[in-house]
Homo-oligomer: A and B are copies of this chain.
């Protein structure tokens, strides 16, 4: 499968990546293309579209024997469901599909195109295999029935400690907002969701190690120390 480029996202690791696209709209990402796919001619006309379909590879999933069922986080991680009834990365094709908002079509110093997008739900440096314009009259089916994923997940309250805000001092407003949106979905392993626990969890975002715990339904960010060796 030909790889045309890769995406830079705020998510340094799998943990905390939103479970669907669009859930953290402030998370701004950049899609870079390898030559010859960065040719401005290849993107002519894309400026008229507000959204794109990004087709990518779940490259961190090892190819294993086919497993017919998966445990989606949406169902608490305990109930199993068919892999083709899910968006699970553990699928024969290893192909992922996300709708993203196209924020900007940019050019690098060599004249090559890059795309700035928001709402990505991909790990940093995920390989991209295709970009297609989102065509609302065919792709938007607002009255479609969404099975077990019929509604957006419930969001949690997020609070930052004084130390966390100090730690994240070098980030801008949009980056803080993206961290907040990411945490609001409760990124704990699914089987812990909706439960209380005393554990402190951590994940990397914007090269900071975000540490949080959950108390009385609120996500409490305790620290966000800068990671230098990522």
| Residue in B47, B87, B129, B142 whose beta carbon sits within 8 Å of that of A136 in the complex | B142
A46 within 8 Å of B by Cβ? yes
A137 within 8 Å of B by Cβ? yes
A162 within 8 Å of B by Cβ? no
> Complex Cα distance A91/B43, Å?
12
A41 within 8 Å of B by Cβ? yes
In the complex the two chains form, is B144's CB within 8 Å of A82's CB? no
In the complex the two chains form, is A138's CB within 8 Å of B91's CB? no
A74 to chain B: closest residue by CB: B135
Number of interface residues of A (CB under 8 A): 65
| Residue in B45, B51, B95, B143 whose beta carbon sits within 8 Å of that of A81 in the complex | B45
A155 within 8 Å of B by Cβ? no
Query: Distance in Å from the Cβ of A112 to the closest Cβ of chain B?
Result: 12
Query: Distance in Å from the Cβ of A94 to the closest Cβ of chain B?
Result: 8
In the complex the two chains form, is B43's CB within 8 Å of A84's CB? yes
In the complex the two chains form, is B146's CB within 8 Å of A93's CB? no
In the complex the two chains form, is B82's CB within 8 Å of A49's CB? no
> Complex Cα distance A36/B92, Å?
10
In the complex the two chains form, is A86's CB within 8 Å of B147's CB? no
| Residue in B1, B50, B80, B87 whose beta carbon sits within 8 Å of that of A133 in the complex | B87
A197 within 8 Å of B by Cβ? no
Chain B residues with CB under 8 Å of A62's CB are none
